[in-house]
Chain A
Amino acid sequence: MNDLDNNLLNVINEDFSRENAAYNIRKDGVGIERNSTEDATIEPKKDKEGIDVYVKEGAEMAYVHIPVIITKGGFSDKVYNDFYIGKGANAIINAGCGIHNDVHADSSHNGIHRFFIEEGATVVYIEKHYGEGKGDGKKILDPVTEIHLKKNASLKMDTAQIKGVSSTIRTTKAFLEEGAKLEINEKIFTHEKQTAKTVFEVELNGNKSSAKISSRSVASENSHQDFISKVVGNSDCYAHVECDAIIKDKATVTSDPMIVANTVDASLVHEATIGKIAGEQLIKLMTLGLSKEKAEETIINGFLK
């Protein structure tokens, strides 16, 4: 790995460590480093690109890192990663993709991630997306995440698209059984002419299952964002979806929330807010001596923290 690789890796996964962790580093379409631990095993798929990650039943805390870096311009990559989390296990999984593209041709990465989380297991899944490079070739990321949560299993997903991704369509589907818990926190920043589309589809099938989805985004310059979510309550369940967007300049945002209650016991809430930075917040920070520009930056950084 060279400096550029390490830099990209650092941006998308600042917690990366080879110690005591299972990891798979994929660079320009090839797995370049791989390690398994007692609690977590990583195996390459035989029939297609991608890996299978197995976390042992009852694992106290398994650390898994699966960063993807793309440094070749004009490179397209598609991978299938499956995660099998054993009963009662605890795992922290760090994924993420960094693209460096200095040329005219487009680079893209599509990660298709499926999670099979067994009874009582707890997973924290962190995913960061980032693009950089001087060329005008696009940096495209279209991740698909599919989550199956068994009884009393839980997944907390933190996703962030930090900067520099020209176009993204991120699709997340989740299916929850009895007592399962899902929490998703999404942060998106777009600028220039970027587009970002987020699609959530959540089915609450088991009683006492719950989902909390929060999307905070900032759309600036000429960028456009779409937020689409469909949450279906098929049981005695609870869901809260919150889409909160700040728009600046000539950016546009649409929010298309849908909640479907198929039983009287489903309690579903959707909140959507789109607006410019609150004037009173700017004023408050300016009374502290911050310029208007600095105040804006501080508000946005806090919002997306």
Chain B
Amino acid sequence: MLEVKDISYVVDNKVVLDKVNLTIKPGLTVITGPNGAGKSTLSKVLMGIVKPTSGSIIYNGEDITNLSIDERAKKGFAFSFQTPVKFKGITVGDLITLSSFESESFISPYEILSDVGLCAKDYVNREIDSSLSGGELKRIEIASALVREAKVNIFDEPEAGIDLWSFDNLSDMFKKLKTKKDTISIIVSHQERIIDIASNIILIKQGKAQVVNSKKELSTIASKCNDCKGGC
């Protein structure tokens, strides 16, 4: 169980997260909400990438608020970035191998890459740089998190940039994650089809989080939402 207790994050006098309280149980939790609401920031707080201004994160009873990114990774956290990171000289194969280093069952780069719909032999030796397309980078990013077989999986907009044709594969993968015992999966997403398979839905609006009980409730809130629109 992952508990978010009174988490706030203030930067440049802007309240990005405003006293967020959540209890996240094993299964599939989808975090949704308008652009700039604080979804990525909250995911990064969970992974230790962003240090909250106040509040705490409790994982299975242990306060992990002050643990670094790699310490959380060692506790079984995995993270897939909204914007994949590029490297110079590090190949797809290198990254997947590094990622799978501590996973229990050894999954080969070939296996995981085909799981995310990439023909492995065409990619293992390619560098993770801008010569890869946006969708390719995204799939590699997802693979690098999945291959870790983590206990807490955090995916920030995994579907962004993934074509319609591969979407079923992706949602199948998340369905599989959902049934994994003792495994928490948190997906930031705007996609109805991902919200459809969620065990829990969390809506973030202007840094505030609320639990939504059904997709129907979500659409009611969204249609009434005045502060969800961007602009000034």
Do the beta carbons of A288 and B88 come within 8 Å of each other? no
Taking CB atoms, residues of chain A closer than 8 Å to B78 are 287
Do the beta carbons of B88 and A303 come within 8 Å of each other? yes
**Stretch binding the partner chain, chosen from B27-35, B98-106, B173-181, B215-223:** B98-106
Among B77, B81, B89, B94, the residue within 8 A (CB) of A284 is B81
| Contact bitstring B40-83, A, C-beta under 8 A = 1, else 0 | 00000001010000000000000000001110011001110100
Taking CB atoms, residues of chain B closer than 8 Å to A287 are 47, 49, 69-70, 73, 77-79, 145
Min CB–CB distance A176 → chain B (angstroms):
27
Most chain B CB neighbours (cut-off 10 Å) among A284, A285, A290, A291: A284
Chain A contact residue count (CB 8 A cutoff): 22
A280 and B81 alpha carbons, distance in the complex (Å): 10
Q: A281-B87, A298-B90, A303-B89 are in contact. Are A286 and B144 (CB under 8 A)?
A: no
Do the beta carbons of B89 and A288 come within 8 Å of each other? no
Taking CB atoms, residues of chain A closer than 8 Å to B79 are 287
Among A216, A283, A299, the residue within 8 A (CB) of B69 is A283
Do the beta carbons of A285 and B47 come within 8 Å of each other? no
Min CB–CB distance A253 → chain B (angstroms):
16
Asked if B148 is at the interface (CB within 8 A of a chain A CB), the reply is: yes
Asked if B85 is at the interface (CB within 8 A of a chain A CB), the reply is: yes
Do the beta carbons of A288 and B90 come within 8 Å of each other? no
Taking CB atoms, residues of chain B closer than 8 Å to A281 are 85, 87
Interface residues of B in 114-159 (CB under 8 A from A): 144-145, 148
Do the beta carbons of B85 and A288 come within 8 Å of each other? no
A287 and B101 alpha carbons, distance in the complex (Å): 12
Do the beta carbons of A302 and B70 come within 8 Å of each other? no
Asked if A92 is at the interface (CB within 8 A of a chain B CB), the reply is: no
Do the beta carbons of B49 and A283 come within 8 Å of each other? yes
A305 and B88 alpha carbons, distance in the complex (Å): 9
Q: A298-B98, A302-B90, A302-B94 are in contact. Are A284 and B70 (CB under 8 A)?
A: no
Q: A283-B69, A287-B79, A290-B70 are in contact. Are A244 and B88 (CB under 8 A)?
A: yes
Do the beta carbons of A291 and B70 come within 8 Å of each other? yes
Do the beta carbons of B88 and A216 come within 8 Å of each other? yes
A299 and B127 alpha carbons, distance in the complex (Å): 12
Taking CB atoms, residues of chain A closer than 8 Å to B101 are 288-289
A287 and B70 alpha carbons, distance in the complex (Å): 6
Do the beta carbons of A289 and B88 come within 8 Å of each other? no
Asked if A292 is at the interface (CB within 8 A of a chain B CB), the reply is: yes
Min CB–CB distance B156 → chain A (angstroms):
11
A192 and B94 alpha carbons, distance in the complex (Å): 29
Size bracket, chain B contacts: 20 to 34
A305 and B85 alpha carbons, distance in the complex (Å): 19
Taking CB atoms, residues of chain B closer than 8 Å to A304 are 89
Do the beta carbons of A286 and B70 come within 8 Å of each other? yes
Residue of A nearest to B145 (CB): A287
Q: A298-B90, A302-B94 are in contact. Are A286 and B68 (CB under 8 A)?
A: yes
Do the beta carbons of B89 and A285 come within 8 Å of each other? no
Residue of A nearest to B73 (CB): A289
Do the beta carbons of B98 and A285 come within 8 Å of each other? yes
Taking CB atoms, residues of chain B closer than 8 Å to A303 are 88-89
Min CB–CB distance B109 → chain A (angstroms):
14
Residue of A nearest to B99 (CB): A288
Taking CB atoms, residues of chain A closer than 8 Å to B74 are 289
Residue of B nearest to A278 (CB): B85
Do the beta carbons of B73 and A288 come within 8 Å of each other? yes
Min CB–CB distance A244 → chain B (angstroms):
7
Min CB–CB distance B224 → chain A (angstroms):
37
Min CB–CB distance B144 → chain A (angstroms):
7
Residue of A nearest to B47 (CB): A287
Taking CB atoms, residues of chain A closer than 8 Å to B68 are 286, 292
Q: A288-B99, A288-B144 are in contact. Are A302 and B88 (CB under 8 A)?
A: yes
Taking CB atoms, residues of chain B closer than 8 Å to A292 are 68, 70
Do the beta carbons of B88 and A284 come within 8 Å of each other? no
Residue of A nearest to B88 (CB): A303
Most chain B CB neighbours (cut-off 10 Å) among A285, A292, A298: A285
Min CB–CB distance A275 → chain B (angstroms):
12
Can you name 27 A-B pairs with beta carbons within 8 Å?
A216-B89, A244-B88, A278-B85, A280-B85, A283-B49, A283-B69, A286-B69, A287-B47, A287-B69, A287-B70, A287-B77, A287-B78, A287-B145, A289-B70, A289-B101, A289-B102, A290-B70, A290-B73, A291-B70, A295-B70, A298-B90, A299-B90, A302-B87, A302-B90, A303-B89, A304-B89, A305-B89
Task: Report the 7 A-B pairs with minimum CB-CB distance, sorted nearest first.
Answer: A302-B89, A302-B90, A289-B73, A286-B69, A284-B85, A287-B79, A286-B70
